[in-house]
Amino acid sequence: MITRRWFTAGLAAAVFAPGTALAQTKKKSFQLDPKFQPQSVPYKTDLTAGSVVVDPKNKFLYLIESSSTARRYGIGVGRAGLEWSGEAIVGRKATWPRWIPTKDMIKREPAKYEKYAVGVDGGPTNPLGARALYLYRNGRDTYYRIHGTIQPWTIGTAVSNGCIRMTNNHVIELYERVGVGATVVVL
């Protein structure tokens, strides 16, 4: 069971403390559905071990372990109109990454994102969570990420601005197992 204390005992208090950058995030009682817990599953593929397959429709990310198995994680995905598909590579990785909303995010919802235009330093109140894998195509940043979240109850839903969300515990595990240059296929 994953609870509010999914990363450190004091993290939840820091995330939801009045006056923090994201204090509007409401504290919720939370238990991750067991189907979204990491687990090894049969998975037939021609992709090499260490590649990642994202299945937004079913809200799962698969880390390929062999031609017939994968480690499956539950994810949150982009809401309607913000999803994407195709192939990319992990262009870089970051621990406690700095978050800056994209120009499109600010344009779509200025009241929500304009105040963060200069960015939010990495840490327990940052929307990218504990780790981020930056997705690139043709040597250019796509501005899509596989990252942690300070809203773990969104796993299994379509609520993001297009990025792939994981619980912080799960993205830390993935971060350790996926290298820069790894293939990422979003179905």
| Residue numbers annotated as active site | 147, 163
Q: Which DSSP string corresponds to 118-162?
A: T-B-SSTT-TTTTEEEEEEETTEEEEEEEE--S-GGGTTSEEESS
Cα gap 149→130, rounded to integer Å = 8
Q: Using the Cα atoms of residue 173, residue 179, residue 185 and residue 186 in order, give the sign of their dihedral.
A: positive
Alpha helices in the chain (DSSP H): 11-16, 103-108, 110-113, 168-177
